[in-house]
């Protein structure tokens, strides 16, 4: 089996059931897969701290406010095989993340 890189969104995905996703992450890692967290949040020290504290140790956190998640992940050196996201449009479309409830697409990504 080829190891997969799996991108997991944070707000309303990981946070919808943290215990479920912790179990998923642990199992995926045991099977040799790489898990990364890709969020549309702004890359601020506060956001980075919150996510790194909430996620299991060692999970890379990408904060891609204003860019498509796919393009941001590629630029960061990750070729994602599977995306898990409650807003799948954010994978290929640039967004402006306003708060944990609202995501606004930009007009010209």
Q: Which of 38, 50, 18 is nearest to 95 (CA)?
A: 38
**Following DSSP, what letter does each residue of 59-71 receive, concatenated?**
--EEE-TTS-HHH
User: In this predicted structure, what is the pLDDT of residue 62?
Assistant: 98
Confidence check: pLDDT of 106 > 70: no
Number of domains the chain is built from? 1
**pTM (predicted TM-score):** 0.85
Q: Tally DSSP H helices, then E strands, for the chain.
A: 4, 6
Which structural domain range is residue 67 located in?
Answer: 5-105
How confident is residue 96, by pLDDT bands cut at 50, 70 and 90? low
Residues 78-105, mean pLDDT to the nearest whole number? 75
Distance CA 101, CA 73 (A): 23
User: In this predicted structure, what is the pLDDT of residue 6?
Assistant: 98
Per-residue tokens: 47: 């956001």
| Residue range 38-91, pLDDT digits in tens | 999 999 999 999 999 999 999 999 999 989 999 999 999 999 999 999 989 889
Confidence check: pLDDT of 95 > 80: no
């Amino acid at each position: 089996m080829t190891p997969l890189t799996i991108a997991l969104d944070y707000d309303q995905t990981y946070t919808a059931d943290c215990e479920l996703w912790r179990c998923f992450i642990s199992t995926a890692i045991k099977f040799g897969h790489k898990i990364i967290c890709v969020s549309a949040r702004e890359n601020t020290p506060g956001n980075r701290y919150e996510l790194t504290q909430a996620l299991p140790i060692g999970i890379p956190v990408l904060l891609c406010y204003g860019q498509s998640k796919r393009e941001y992940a590629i630029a960061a050196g990750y070729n994602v095989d599977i995306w898990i996201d409650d807003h799948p449009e954010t994978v290929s479309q640039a967004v402006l993340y306003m708060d944990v409830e609202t995501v606004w697409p930009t007009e010209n990504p």
